[in-house]
Amino acid sequence: LNTVKSIYRSTADYANKEVTLGGWIRTMRVSKNFGFIELNDGSFFKNIQIVFEADTLSNYAEITKLGVGAAIIVKGLLVETPEAKQPFEVKAQEIAIEGTSTPDYPLQKKRHSVEFLRQIAYLRPRTNMFSATFRVRSLIAYAIHQFFQDKGFVYAHTPIITGSDCEGAGEMFRVTTLDLNNLPKKEDGTVDFSKDFFGKETNLTVSGQLSAETFAMAFRNVYTFGPTFRAENSNTARHAAEFWMIEPEMAFADLEDNMEVAEEMLKYIIQYVLDNAPEEMEFFNSFVDKGLLDRLHNILNNDFGRVTYTEAVDLLIKSGKKFEYPVSWGIDLQTEHERYLTEEIFKKPVFVTDYPKDIKAFYMRMNDDNKTVAAMDLLVPGVGEIIGGSQREERLELLEKRMDELGLKKEDYWWYLDLRKYGGTRHSGYGLGFERAVMYLTGMSNIRDVLPYPRTVKNAEF
Ligand code: 4AD
Ligand code: MG
């Protein structure tokens, strides 16, 4: 089979030649003697027009009865049509029916709401919006690998099932082979996890960071890219229970180095997608988020903002804006604050650094003021927090002290603590929420629409 993508990209090579295409009917118009099919062959965002005639096709009548969504193979001549809306079309010589489509096919030609399309998530990749979204999602993943691999980072596959809680927030999905209706108990009445498959309590990972740190102490620069899980009961447009995260970890790097890599990475993937998915990006700009392309170009040409948490809180208070959740030093910034900072005050991506230690995870490096830690979050217009990262605490005594303060069981983290004894060094890393990056680059406003099959509260169909 030829592909529509290669025909679009090098039309001259195909002009007046025979092509064979396999694809699905998006629309069909027929009259007595001829008809038009808009075919999508999956290789490309755009459709190709097929013209077919009663004189040429022996199965003309059968073809005209095909429903939208049917799968066909078309053999025909590619002809250039410079005066028409589309630059070329295929004059069919033969059309073979691979799979018919019944009249109840839900994607008839009309505009469907995203809410409706979520209910038929198994068909939505066949619409323009979701075809564009999942193509761009795939490209961003590729760009991320390319960015890190070109820099010599080693891709580390960190475990999905783990016995530790990286973020210490307790928002974990349990993994067990025990019979929930008949749990083995210890003498004190608590569950006896030594009888479980792994012999201890385990859960799905919330982050690959702790394991990535161990690899960074061997390879210097590493990254993970895999699924992560959070059992947080937040029903928002930017939280999912299963999402993908990219987590670079770099030895001999401080917070400044960390931010430089994050900024370079984000600009790299934006440029990559603009270069490699112009049709899709044009579509998003016209139909999903007007001004998207201007905004992305602007980001490429400007430095990201930098502000400390303390300065950010001052700016929010001074703005005089009435927030639903009032601002004062020590609060965890809410989405409304994050978006105000990046959309109204900075009007570009901004790194917020040096958060109060009490609202951040145990592993972040304590600053000299003993109140804040060397953390950085990247906030972007339209989405809010897209990256969370920090310089890590490499000083064993301080790390242990912090874990004690937070009531973390040090025996669960013995290997993590040992890293600080065996050639521990300054190191930093961050986590990019992959879906949030896809939202940011496409203008899609709900995380449910950038995940093929979103896992959110009460949503595990398909
Ligand atoms: O800020 P978070 O929780 O940071 C970490 O997990 C660190 N261990 C990362 C690191 O330093 N290696 O999560 C990182 C990013 C967030 O900025 C956000 O983009 C995304 O992951 N994220 C979510 N995305 C979708 N749904 C959720 N429930 C998310 N929780 C976090
Ligand atoms: Mg965070």
| pLDDT tens, residue by residue, 403-420 | 999 999 999 899 999 999
> What's the CA gap between 433 and 422, in Å, rounded?
31
Residue whose tokens read 């970890």? 249
Specify the pLDDT at position 166. 83
Average pLDDT over residues 288-300: 96
- Measured from the CB, is residue 239 less than 6 Å from ligand 1? yes
Q: Give the span between the Cα atoms of 321 and 69, in whole angstroms.
A: 51
Summarised one tens digit per residue, pLDDT across range 260-291 is 999 999 999 999 999 999 999 999 999 999 99
Determine whether the shortest distance from the Cβ of 385 to ligand 1 is under 6 A.
yes
Structure confidence at residue 445 as a pLDDT band (50, 70, 90): very high
Ligand closest in space to the Cα of 240 = 1
Q: What is the per-residue DSSP string for 337-402?
A: HHHIIIIIISSS-EEEE--BGGGS-TTBPBPTTSSBBSEEEEEETTTEEEEEEEEB---HHHHHHH
3-state secondary structure at position 311: helix
Q: Is 224 in the pocket of ligand 1 (CB under 6 A)?
A: no
- Give residue 377 CA to ligand 2 midpoint distance, Å: 7
What are the two backbone dihedrals, phi and then psi, of residue 249, each rounded to the nearest 5 degrees?
Answer: -140, 130
* Residues flanking ion ligand 2, Cβ below 5 Å: 388
Ligand 1 in reach of 267 Cβ (< 6 A): no
**Best residue among 144, 236, 243, 446 to mutate for probing ligand 1, ranked by most atoms within 8 Å of CB:** 243
| 3-class SS of residue 87 | coil
* DSSP result, 398-421: HHHHHHHHHT--GGGGHHHHHTTT
The tens digit of pLDDT for each residue in 53-106 reads 999 999 999 999 999 999 999 999 999 998 888 899 999 999 999 999 999 999
Model confidence pLDDT, tens digit, residues 169-212: 779 999 999 999 999 999 999 999 999 999 999 999 999 999 99
Which ligand is closest to the CA of 249, given by its number? 1
| Pair 49, 37: CB distance under 8 Å | yes
Here the contacts of 107-111 (C-beta below 8 Å, separation 24 or greater) are: 107/68, 107/69, 108/68, 109/26, 109/27, 109/68
pLDDT higher than threshold 80 for residue 109? no
Closest atom, ligand 1, to C-alpha of 390: 11
Mean pLDDT check: name the lowest of 125-139, 160-174, 315-329: 160-174
| pLDDT, tens digit (0-9, with 9 covering 90-100), for 316-365 | 999 999 999 999 999 999 999 999 999 999 999 999 999 999 999 999 99
* Integer Cα distance of 432 and 253 in angstroms: 18
Residue owning the nearest CA to atom 30 of ligand 1: 239
Q: Which ligand 1 atom is the nearest neighbour of the CA of 241?
A: 28
Question: How far is the centre of ligand 1, averaged over its atoms, from the C-alpha of 206 (Å)?
Answer: 8
Ligand 1 atom 21, closest CA: 433
Q: How far does residue 349's CA lie from ligand 2's centre (Å)?
A: 15
Whole-number pLDDT of residue 164: 86
Residue 74 CA to ligand 1 center (angstroms) comes to: 46
Output the pLDDT for position 108.
86
DSSP calls for 141-177: HHHHHHHHHHTT-EE----SEESS-TTSS----EE--
CA dihedral 77, 83, 84, 89 (to 10 degrees): 10
Contacts of residue 148, Cβ cutoff 8 Å, sequence gap at least 6 = 155, 221, 223, 248, 265
Determine the distance separating the centroid of ligand 2 and the alpha carbon of 247, expressed in angstroms: 12
Whether 225 has a pLDDT exceeding 90, the answer reads yes
Asked if residue 240 has its Cβ within 6 Å of ligand 1, the reply is yes
- Assess whether the C-beta atom of 386 lies below 6 angstroms from ligand 1: yes
Residues constituting the chain: 462
Q: How far is the CA of 448 from the centre of ligand 1 (A)?
A: 16
Ligand 1 pocket residue status of 389, Cβ below 6 Å: yes
> 18-67, pLDDT tens digit by residue?
999 999 999 999 999 999 999 999 999 999 999 999 999 999 999 999 99
Closest residue by Cα to residue 130 from 461, 446, 456, 460: 446
- The residues that bridge with 221 in the sheet, in sequence order, are 250
Q: Which residues contact 110 (CB under 8 A, 6 or more apart)?
A: none
Cα–Cα distance measured from residue 400 to residue 52, given in angstroms and rounded to the nearest whole number = 74
Q: Which residues contact 283 (CB under 8 A, 6 or more apart)?
A: 45, 128, 129, 132
Task: Please tell me the distance between residue 76's alpha carbon and the centre of ligand 1 in angstroms.
Answer: 50
The set of residues, in sequence order, having a beta carbon less than 8 Å from that of 333 and lying 6+ positions away, is 309, 312, 341, 352, 377
Q: Residue 259 Cα, ligand 1 centroid: separation in angstroms?
A: 16
Integer Rg of the chain from CA: 27
Tell how far the Cα of 333 is from the centroid of ligand 2, in angstroms: 10
Please work out whether the CB of residue 167 comes within 6 Å of at least one atom of ligand 1.
yes
State whether residue 10 is helix, strand or coil. Answer: coil
Neighbours of 291 (CB within 10 A): 10
pLDDT confidence of 168, banded at 50, 70, 90?
confident
CA distance 152 to 155: 9
Residue 390 Cα to ligand 2 midpoint, Å, equals: 10
Q: Report the percent of the chain where pLDDT is more than 70.
A: 100
Is there an atom of ligand 1 within 6 Å of 429 CB? yes
Using CB atoms within 10 A of its CB, is residue 190 exposed (0-12), middle (13-18) or buried (19+)?
exposed
117 in contact with ligand 1, CB cutoff 6 A: no
Q: What is the pLDDT of residue 111?
A: 84
| Cα–ligand 2 centroid distance for 137 (angstroms) | 22
From 144, 236, 224, select the one nearest 454 (Cα to Cα).
236
First-to-last alpha carbon distance for the chain, in angstroms, is: 30
Q: Is 166 in the pocket of ligand 1 (CB under 6 A)?
A: yes
In whole angstroms, give the CA distance from residue 36 to residue 364. 62
Residue 432, pLDDT > 80, answer yes
> Is the Cβ–Cβ distance between 224 and 154 less than 8 Å?
no
